Amino acid sequence: MVKKTVLKVDLSGEKGRKKLLKAISGVQGVDKIEVDAAKGTISVTGDADPYDIIVRTRKVGKFVELVTVGPPPAPPKEPQKKPEEKKAEPKKDDKKTDPNPQFHYPVVYMDRYNEPNVGCSIM
């Protein structure tokens, strides 16, 4: 179940903020992280367990306070559009033409077993 976890954390310093974001983004199930430096809060949206997020935050060395855990806000609904009439388009030729024929190079994918110099390797 997707939920939104809001944490209050001291976000002073760019280096500490980067460490914190890296630690939280490593938790399995995190979809989105929002940072509000003015309020000192981090909002994490996804299937991640709030306990795991708190543990990771404390391992970075930050004091964390849980503000809320709950469902994420519903996305704003867009008004439904009426289906428009399809206009008759002139038929195009089925031939595919390259827009830049002078810059067309074939792409050959190789793995390490099909390379031309198999005998040479650097360990």
- The domain tally of the chain equals 1
Report if residue 105 sits inside a domain: no
pTM of the model: 0.57
Report if residue 109 sits inside a domain: no
CATH of the domain at 56: 3.30.70.100
Helix residue ranges, H only, 2-101 = 14-25, 50-60
Report if residue 106 sits inside a domain: no
Q: Distance (Å, rounded) from C-alpha 94 to C-alpha 91?
A: 9
Where would I find the beta strands (DSSP E) of the chain?
3-9, 30-36, 41-46, 64-70
**Helix, strand, coil % in the chain, rounded to nearest 5:** 20, 20, 55
Report if residue 35 sits inside a domain: yes
Could you tell me if 30 and 44 are in contact, meaning their C-beta atoms sit under 8 angstroms apart? yes
- What are the tens digits of pLDDT across the range 44-97? 999 989 999 999 989 988 888 888 888 877 777 777 766 666 665 656 555 555
- What are the tens digits of pLDDT across the range 7-32? 999 888 888 888 989 999 999 999 99
Report if residue 117 sits inside a domain: no
What was the pLDDT predicted at 44?
Answer: 92
Give the domain range for residue 66.
3-70
